[in-house]
């Protein structure tokens, strides 16, 4: 009986009319293309320091703070434990955990000698991948870091699609941002590009959240 009641409520939420119209994949793609990424120094490094060893330490680092306490980066940076410690990372989300091509082969054991809390999601960067089933899991994990004064590092292979989608879901679910505003916030700080399948799922999430708030 209870299950039927929840299904009826879900159906009613889905049928609610959105005064401003539904969000589509095209709307989010337009927001991406219309938002320019600022050129900023690598987090954790002082741009005013002019020293050879300091420059060398920055080589191979691909990381940007896209929201206070939230960083998006690539696989190589995620494996750079010294850099993660320097940033003060407390939580690390690997949105591409796996051993196949296009995945990042790390797990909890890689960070066993650190205090970093780890979460791995086995996501392929494909249009058909259902990333939406992890939206609330990723959002809760990132929120655990930020809400306790910690820092979250979210990555995939390149830090462009899977990781960015997880952060966008967090901003929508936990910070109440509309999808377009979340995209503008992240894209302004890093040149992200979620694949079109992920954009479609973010649009669906946006519509769902907007209906719940009516």
Catalytic residue IDs: 156
Query: Is residue 163 packed enough to be buried (19+ CB in 10 Å), middle (13-18) or exposed (0-12)?
Result: buried
Extract the tokens encoding 102.
């296009």
**Rounded to whole angstroms, how far apart are CA atoms 175 and 150?**
16
Extract the tokens encoding 112.
């066993």
β-strands 70-73, 117-120: how paired? Answer: unpaired
Check: CB of residue 95 under 8 Å from CB of residue 75.
no
């Amino acid at each position: 009986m209870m299950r039927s009641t929840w299904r009826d409520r879900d159906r009613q939420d889905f049928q609610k009319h959105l005064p401003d119209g539904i969000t589509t994949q095209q709307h989010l793609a337009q927001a991406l293309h219309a938002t320019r990424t600022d050129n900023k120094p690598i987090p954790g490094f002082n741009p005013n320091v002019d020293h050879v060893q300091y420059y060398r330490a920055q080589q191979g680092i691909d990381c940007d703070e896209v929201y206070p306490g939230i960083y998006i980066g690539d696989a190589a940076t995620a494996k750079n434990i010294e850099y993660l410690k320097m940033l003060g990372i407390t939580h690390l989300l690997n949105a591409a955990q796996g051993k196949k091509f296009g995945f990042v082969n790390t797990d909890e054991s890689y960070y066993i000698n650190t205090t970093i809390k780890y979460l791995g999601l086995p996501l392929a960067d494909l249009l058909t991948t259902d990333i939406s089933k992890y939206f609330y899991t990723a959002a809760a994990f990132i929120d655990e870091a930020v809400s306790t004064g910690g820092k979250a590092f979210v990555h995939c292979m390149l830090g462009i699609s899977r990781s960015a989608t997880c952060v966008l879901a967090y901003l929508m679910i936990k910070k109440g941002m509309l999808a377009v505003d979340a995209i503008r916030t992240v894209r302004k700080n890093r040149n992200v590009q979620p694949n079109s399948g992920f954009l479609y799922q973010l649009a669906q999430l946006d519509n769902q959240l907007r209906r719940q708030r009516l």
